[in-house]
Structure 1
Amino acid sequence: MSEPSLKANACGTANIAGANSATYTTPATTTGDSGSTFQVVVTNTAGTVTSNPATLMVTPAGSPIVSLSTNTLTYATPNSLSTVKAQLVTLTNTGTGVLSISGISATGNYSQTNTCGTSVAAAASCTISVAFNPSGTGIQTGAVAITDNAAGSPHVINLAGPVSNLAPNAAVTVSSQNTGTGQLGSKAVDGVITGYPGTYTYEWATNGQLAGAWIQLTWSSPVQLSQVVLYDRPNLSDNIQAGTLQFSDGSSISVGTLPNNGQGYPVTFATKTVAWVKFTVTQAVGNNIGLAEFQAFGPLGPVVSLSSTTLNFQSQLLATTSPAQSVTVTSNGTSPVIFSGITVTGDYAETDNCNGSTLPVGSTCTINVTFTPTATGTRTGTISLADNAMGSPQTINLTGTGAVLTSPSITTQPANQTAIAGQTATFSVAASGSGPLGYQWQKNTANIAGANSATYTTPATTTGDSGSTFQVVVTNTAGTVTSNPATLMVTPAGSPILSLSTNTLTYATPNSLSTVKAQLVTLTNTGTGVLSISGISATGNYSQTNTCGTSVAAAAS
């Protein structure tokens, strides 16, 4: 019976070249292949039969989607009795494909740690803990940038602090409080983020309540709110696992599990004008719950986030211009950013679509930066963005190195090579000089087509190649250098090669107490054919015996 022939009717019933066995594996599929049918025609000298068609359905590869529990973190002015605490952001992959993360970084006076690793499965989550280390009392902005394979990358968490906390200006009422230990409702707005098992008098604790406990902040006149940050008591035995924020405008927001390791749980929402906000616990574990701190913040106004605050350029030749590097500028506040000027210092230039524009909330613009060094060595510069956002002007720090052009030189010459006919041989060179370096290998001084890298491998050699020389010409814009020639020796295939462990034996003057002893020489056939020996003889006052016989196989001794 003849070999079967396979056909596919993705477009009619066309034969698939080379598909001539009982099994067929397609090339990598695309969604365009979906719905194609495949059938096989089996033949022998007696006749032909065609199988039923089988249909291929191709599902689009799953795409990841990044969902952040908040894209804004606000930090209160630190109290002299406590430090600024980290806040926790949850990243969830709500898509159907694996989220690959290539980097998570923080800018400004902020730092981050995370549990995300390099990938997050579909429907899985990880957490990013963001800490603030303020320098001075002025507003300091920053961002956490998450670079990944999902649409919208990099995903940015906008950071701002220290920002005025509205909670201390509110009257506090609670469902209950532990007056005997001083764990009063008012301690949840005292600006000190600490509590039991540290200093419990700086926290609010109920009198044995769990679910159903509540705390309310009421202002004497309505205020604008856009974020609340809740800090659970740092008591690992008690934990708030769910709750509800209710507002005087009738709206409410669900709250998840609060971290009880001292970190804040931020809840961000569209700006509300309210007279009060109330947090009610709906689920808890332990013996008693409360809060170390309850913070409330108004809208941030315009906020600028930069995808990078530092650009590093590779070594660049003097008076030449580098490829551009880009910085994405994002409006992440609660009102548009208005740019009034962009200035550049140092050996740098920029083009942008930001300057003079108004950037709506959630929108981006781009700054493209190039480097043209005017002197050798490290060259620094800055780009400053003037705008109506907090922290203006924002600064991008620039660093590059100016270099002079040096002509190429050979640092490692090509070496002679030996090959058996039918084998290949490889020649290599090492060269220095200003990049990019160009390579052109030559055989017997004639250019070899396509041999344009630092290494060249010959085609299968023949005995006619034996004695050929190979050299390489290395070039850049400053000059040219040619390597020393290396010689290729080709041994006929199947030929024996005789190799002796030594070709000289020396004997000492014998002592009266001993005779001259024999010495041993090893003969090895290092070739690929059988070594035929027609005779082994010694001359002079010497004699020999051997184990060689009349032949030695290839690789034998």
Structure 2
Amino acid sequence: MGAEASTVATGVTRGALWRKVRGMRAGLAAAVALAAQALAPQTALAQAVTLPDTAYRAKCIACHEYPVRVLSTGASPLGYGKIIGNAKIDGTVAQMRTAMPAAYAYNLSPEAISDAEVAQVQSFLRMVRDLVVIPSVPAFPTTVAGTTSGAPGTITIANARAAAVPYSYSVTGANAGDFSVSASCTGGSVPADNTDTPCTLTVQFSPSAAGVSGTRSATLVLSFTGTSGDPTPPTRNIPLQGDAQVLAPQFSISPTGLTFSAVAGASTTGTATITNGGNANLVLGTLSFSGAQASDYSFGAGNQCVASGVLTPGSNCQLVVQFAPPAAGARNASLSITHNASGSPQVLTLAGTATPAPQPAIELSVASVAFGDTQLGSTAQRSFTVRNSGQAPLGFTSFTLGGAAAGDYTRGGTCTTGTPLAVGATCSVTLSFTPGALGSRSATLSIASNASNGTASVPLSGSGVPVPAPAVSLSAGSLDFGSQTVGGIYPARSVTLTNSGNQPLVLTSLAASGAGFALTTGSPCPATLAAGASCTVSVGFTPTAAGTDYAGAIDIVSNAPGSPHRVALAGRGTVDAVPALVWSPAVARMSFGDVSVGTVSAVQSATLTNQGPGGAVLHIANAVGVGASSYSVTLAGCTVGQVIFQGQSCQVNVQFTPDGAGEKTATVQVASSGSHPPTLTLQGTGLAAPGAGLAVSATAVSFSGTQQGSRSLPSELTLSSRGTGSLRVTGLEVQGPYNVQNKSCPTLPFTLPPGSECTLSITFEPTGTGAAGGVLSITSDASATPQQVTLSGEGTPAADTSGGGCSLVEGDTLVDPTLWALLLAAGGVLVWRRREGAADARASRHGGART
């Protein structure tokens, strides 16, 4: 490598070239710094690139080009041979020296180039061969998807060769589309000797909205192509990385389902919270209810979540749903919510349960009201109790009197249409009956209300009578004192006398008869007892002989029909001391008040004590009297057949279970070997809801003899509705040769209001002779089993409808003598007539007449 000046084909002297090289040595220090930068590709470079070419320029440029032509064969344009191959450039300093002997011919002694300079020349030539690629692409900072990072990355490409180097680049990897590259060098080549103005690739990070936030990575692949015999620089793979922030709303709702519980006809609300947990606005779309009971649901007061509503990141809204079920049962639906976040639409489940609305119910203390006989022009009154046995206030709509004699009745009392009846409360209905005519006067009181069991109908009955009359009613038809010790002291027994008529009862006499019996007071009742008034007649029994049965009577003589009236008295004298049984403490009446039919009252108790002397065997403990079936009597501390010794006690428990509406009275009966305890009266009133009742005008229908094959005259059967509710008739079934037709009854099934009636027509159609039985079964809601009417009739032979005449034999036969006799007679008449006709003709021809 010589330094002498010589002219080359280009006309440039070596001296001039050398002076150029010497002028470039001033950048030696900068070249060393650039070498360090090449080893640290993440460091940003200046616009110009300075190479470590000091040794090359000092020792080699006189014979070789600058820019450098890297050839594996051939000579330099300056004519001083090739630059040695890659093996020596990449080898050791010693290997590099062995490749340079030919250079010594140019008066460069080995001592003129040091090992350090050889190493620098190697480094410089490697840069020329491989090109200088300096990436300055740090990890891009957080960049919002859809935007471009503020500071781009750069890649500098410097070419110190004498020829341009074609290049290409591409971005590969999972997120290649998030990075864009632009080049400052056009034409697809890195220009020759461009170290002062190197090529720059600018990298931008523009993350797409697809995917999620986080790191996005790719690789920039930079490829080169060698030309004119120059080697191909190595491909560079430059990693690209950036942090993407995807802006997206995030929909969440809590809870994901709402559960409701409400009374049918009322409403309640439930609340859920919709939250935007994302980093972009959440826009609500449609909010729509669907499902079997979607109409039960709506948005409630205070609802903040509406269609087209916008929730900023981190904010929420309150979704208020109202549940208003019209009927009881499970009432389910769902609410679908569309929005601009992923997962749309979101479904909110709605599970509702509706319980029946509390309803009132009506109960009456009577099934019907009977006024009995009432004098024309006078008025009778009756009252009954109405109770609200439901769970909501009972409101009366109307009190309507209907029926044939409705004008005879008027209504009063505390039950009114303007005053609701509280739960469990009672009010009274007072009815007045003033008959407008003699005879039966029937009507119906219909009580319309909001009760769940419907309108209550109370049949009313009364009779108009012309003359008032007193009537005697006795609480007992007999009194039995049992066994009493002769000379002992025992309590009296009593019977109540009531004037149950409508005329003052005038008592003519009231006396006890029979040995041992006497009234305890001289005049137990007044001389005149007003209608409806009562008095108590007490009688004592004092036997004088032991082992004797005593019988007597209380006779009451008055102006009442049926006078005199009698109460039979009985008792037995004994020498033995008879234990005295008493109620301790003393009690004369147990009142149970109003109790619903079908329910049981609370227990009321009385203590039965044996005051002696001696023990008493208990035989019977029950209830007797008109209303006895509504009371149950049980014992506690003793049993029937047990001995109650002197000083011992037994508890008698009584419960009231009314078997129907109305007042129920009875007395406690205690029979024993001791004395009877004083009378203990039981009183209570049964309340019953309206119910159906069926009465028929006859329980049996008979037909007289009816010819076989014909139909009898019809018999009528009347069906009457006798309950407090409407009667529903659902079936009429006939067994036997009978036929039933509706006369005034509607077609099945039909309903009869309380107090109304209709008529059936029954005919007998015998198919044979003799007795024929049958049954008519009437099915209705008045009872669980059909009501039956017995049918009976007698079939007789059918009439003979063959030709006239008579016969001496029975049956059909060809040898009937009467028939042959008639035929012979007819034949004789015909012969005689023919003979007579012939004789008349002969006489006419002879002009004579027959004589």
TM-score by length of 1: 0.28
Q: Which structure has greater helix proportion?
A: 2
Greater relative CO, 1 or 2 (CA 8 Å, sep 6+): 1
- Structure number with greater Rg is 2
TM-score by length of 2: 0.19
